[in-house]
């Protein structure tokens, strides 16, 4: 609710002939025209009607040469709800008059003149004018349904007020994509007693009613709060915590920093075990600790879902000292924990269970203004590919992309030679692989129609990726590194990317020379000791590495 109390010059255009007000009721109010002066005592109940056809600012002037006790003008809507008040005061620097304003929507209103916080009758002189609105705080905006819609990045100004009730202001805005939302806010002392701090509070809620962020509004002190937010509609609530003063004037500035859709961020409401945010495996997740207190710590809760029992490993890094990871197996809190007193990466490995596995990040050392951190969670799906395996990340990424699946017993056999039929089958699972029909299918002597991979291999032939030899395609054979280079270049339509590494065991006259050079220019192959080993058979682990680097160049 609005109540801007400040000293100002008396409006020069007011009528000079005062009109004495008479007793009236809320249901049967008297008429009070703009720029008309009313005089009397507050021992009489006085209600006056006001109607505006468009949003307007009601600027009220209260005069009294001998203010002993304050009096006020309160604006009500037609449901008897108080929207704001202007209270007479000497503390604003002008002992003879007080000028205050309340911005309102189009509609019918009632103005009441009354004593403020006492029962002693007071002589009063009052008048008002109608002007253009000057704040975002346009009454009524005291509920979610009445919230004022503002742009995502705005300067929000207004006042919340108390006259035997407590005011709250609501605003809404739309967030088009995930990002970092910031609120900077401050308040100003009430004119009734400038020495009394006018402190308040604001809260931000998402469209599901979950509180995303909150902070105090401090008198003459700029406070700042940040949090990650997801796309959707948000509601900002501003309220007054001072039970003595009549009003709190506020200014809030909001800003928004978009974050790319391919980055995973906190949902901003994961501050409890039951609110743990579900995060994907093998992705880097961003979050931050942010508070303005000198002591204490923060917990952010996350969870991963597993199809069966298996080891999981959580790795995190942060700017803040004392970052800790806590895992929760079933209802056992702190069964495993790891922490450092220096801002370096930390890792914890624990046994994951089928279903939800909850863990939390905690900062254990304050104070903190803002400390970003990142973390990732990996699970050991294959019993023969532990976290320490040289190609764990590449193999796990291909599994996570549903390209490779391993064996029914939970193994991968990383050192086993891969067969040509499996290479074509795995490449066929890659979403980005397109196989246009460039030629008619032919009959291969070793690929009968009953073969499990007949249709898949024929698609690669028809797309011109493989040719076969002597009417055979040898699906049950292994393949060399040189053959794989040709298949990858043709499948993904790769072309040279700048100067490539040279290898001591291949020469320009080799049939596979161009294909190997193209892979090298993309960083897909680096060789060993300067060698490419073109005739070496490809293992399952090395195929996973080749394919990972093809799909994720220069990583």
For residue 130, the tally of other CB atoms under 10 A from its CB is 14
The CA-atom distances, in angstroms, between 340 and each of 7, 85, 170, 206, 373 are: 57, 55, 42, 34, 14
Q: Is 3.40.50.300 the CATH classification of the domain at 4-131?
A: no
Fold topology of 148-258: Jelly Rolls (2.60.120)
Per-residue buried b or exposed e for 65-100, using 16+ beta carbons within 10 Å of the residue's own CB: eebeebbbbbbbbeeeebbbbbbbbbbbebeebbbb
- All CATH 2.60.120.380 domain ranges of the chain, comma separated, are 4-131, 148-258, 264-379
In 367-407, which ranges are continuous DSSP H helix? 392-400
CB 417 within 8 A of CB 478: yes
pLDDT of residue 335: 38
pLDDT of residue 9: 33
* Strands ordered across the beta sheet of 168-175: 148-149, 168-175, 232-240, 200-205, 211-217
Q: Is the pTM of this model over 0.75?
A: no
The helix-helix angle for 420-428 and 454-462 (nearest 10°) equals 80
Separation of alpha carbons 172 and 58, rounded Å:
24
CATH of domain 264-379: 2.60.120.380
Query: Which is nearest to 372 in space by CA: 134, 180, 127?
Result: 180
Q: Which pairing describes strands 155-161 and 123-131: parallel, antiparallel, or unpaired?
A: unpaired
Strands (E), 105-222: 107-115, 123-131, 148-149, 155-161, 168-175, 179-188, 200-205, 211-217
CB 163 within 8 A of CB 102: no
One digit per residue, the tens of pLDDT, for the chain of length 555 reads 444 333 333 333 344 444 444 557 888 899 899 999 998 888 777 899 999 999 999 999 998 755 567 888 999 998 888 898 888 887 777 778 899 999 999 999 999 998 876 678 888 899 999 999 999 999 999 999 999 999 999 999 998 876 545 679 999 999 999 999 999 988 875 554 555 566 788 999 999 999 988 888 877 788 888 889 999 999 999 988 765 566 788 999 999 999 988 888 888 889 888 999 999 999 999 988 875 444 456 789 999 999 999 999 999 988 766 778 888 764 333 334 455 555 568 888 999 999 999 999 887 655 556 778 899 999 999 999 999 999 999 999 999 999 999 999 999 999 999 999 999 999 999 999 999 999 999 999 999 999 999 999 999 999 999 999 999 999 999 999 999 999 999 999 999 998 888 899 999 999 999 999 999 999 999 877 889 999 999 999 999 999 999 999 765
346 phi, psi to nearest 5 deg: -130, 150
The CA-atom distances, in angstroms, between 347 and each of 266, 372, 400 are: 20, 17, 21
Work out the angle at residue 274's Cα, subtended by the Cα atoms of residues 268 and 277, and round it to the nearest 5 degrees.
Answer: 40
pLDDT of residue 112: 93
pLDDT of residue 243: 56
In 81-226, which ranges are continuous DSSP H helix? none
Query: Which is nearest to 228 in space by CA: 271, 170, 286, 273?
Result: 286
């Amino acid at each position: 609710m609005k109540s801007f109390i400040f000293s100002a010059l008396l409006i020069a255009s007011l009528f000079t002939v005062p009109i004495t007000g008479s007793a009236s009721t809320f249901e049967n109010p008297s008429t009070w025209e703009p720029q008309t002066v009313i005089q009397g005592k507050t021992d009489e109940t006085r209600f006056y009607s006001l109607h505006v056809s468009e949003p307007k600012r009601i600027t009220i002037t209260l005069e009294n040469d001998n203010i002993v006790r304050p009096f006020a003008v309160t604006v009500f809507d037609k449901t008897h709800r108080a929207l704001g008040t202007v209270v007479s005061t000497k503390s604003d620097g002008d002992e003879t008059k007080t000028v205050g304003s309340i911005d309102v929507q189009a509609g019918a209103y009632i103005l009441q003149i009354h004593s403020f916080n006492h029962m002693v009758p007071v002589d009063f002189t009052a008048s008002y004018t109608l002007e253009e609105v000057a704040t975002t705080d346009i009454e009524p905006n005291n509920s979610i349904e009445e919230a004022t819609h503002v742009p995502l990045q705005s300067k929000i100004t207004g006042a919340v007020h108390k006259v035997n009730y407590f005011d709250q202001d609501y605003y809404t805005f739309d967030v088009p994509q995930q990002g970092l939302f910031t609120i900077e806010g401050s308040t100003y002392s009430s004119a009734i007693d400038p020495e009394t701090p006018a402190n308040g509070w604001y809260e931000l809620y998402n469209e599901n009613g979950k509180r995303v962020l909150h902070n105090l509004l401090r008198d003459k002190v700029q406070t700042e709060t940040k949090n990650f937010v997801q796309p959707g509609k948000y509601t900002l609530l501003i309220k007054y915590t001072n039970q003595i003063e009549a009003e709190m004037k506020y200014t809030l500035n909001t800003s928004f920093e978009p974050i790319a859709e391919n980055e995973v961020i906190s949902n901003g409401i994961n501050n409890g075990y039951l609110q743990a945010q579900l995060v994907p495996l093998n992705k880097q997740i961003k979050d931050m600790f942010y508070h303005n207190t000198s002591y204490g710590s923060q917990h952010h809760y996350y969870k991963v879902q597993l199809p069966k029992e298996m080891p999981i490993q959580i790795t995190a890094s942060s700017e803040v000292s004392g970052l800790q990871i806590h895992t929760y197996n079933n209802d056992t809190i702190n069964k495993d924990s790891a922490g450092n007193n220096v801002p370096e990466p930390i890792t914890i490995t624990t046994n994951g269970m089928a279903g939800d596995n909850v863990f939390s990040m905690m900062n254990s050392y304050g104070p903190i203004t803002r400390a970003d951190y990142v973390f990732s969670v990996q699970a050991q799906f294959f019993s023969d590919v532990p976290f320490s395996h040289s190609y764990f990340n590449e193999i796990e990424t291909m599994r996570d992309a549903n390209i490779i699946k391993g064996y029914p017993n939970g193994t991968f056999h990383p050192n086993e030679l891969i067969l040509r039929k499996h290479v074509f089958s795995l490449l066929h699972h890659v979403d980005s692989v397109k196989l246009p029909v460039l030629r008619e299918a032919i009959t291969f002597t070793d690929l009968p129609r009953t073969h499990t991979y007949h249709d898949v291999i024929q698609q690669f032939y028809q797309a011109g990726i493989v040719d076969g030899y002597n009417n055979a395609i040898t699906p049950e054979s292994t393949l060399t590194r040189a053959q794989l280079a040709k298949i990858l270049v043709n499948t993904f339509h790769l072309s040279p990317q700048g100067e490539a590494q040279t290898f001591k065991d291949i020469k320009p006259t080799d049939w596979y020379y161009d294909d190997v050079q193209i892979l090298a220019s993309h960083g897909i192959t680096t060789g060993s000791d300067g060698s490419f080993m073109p005739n070496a058979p490809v293992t399952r682990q090395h195929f996973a590495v080749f394919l990972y680097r093809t799909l994720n160049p220069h990583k």
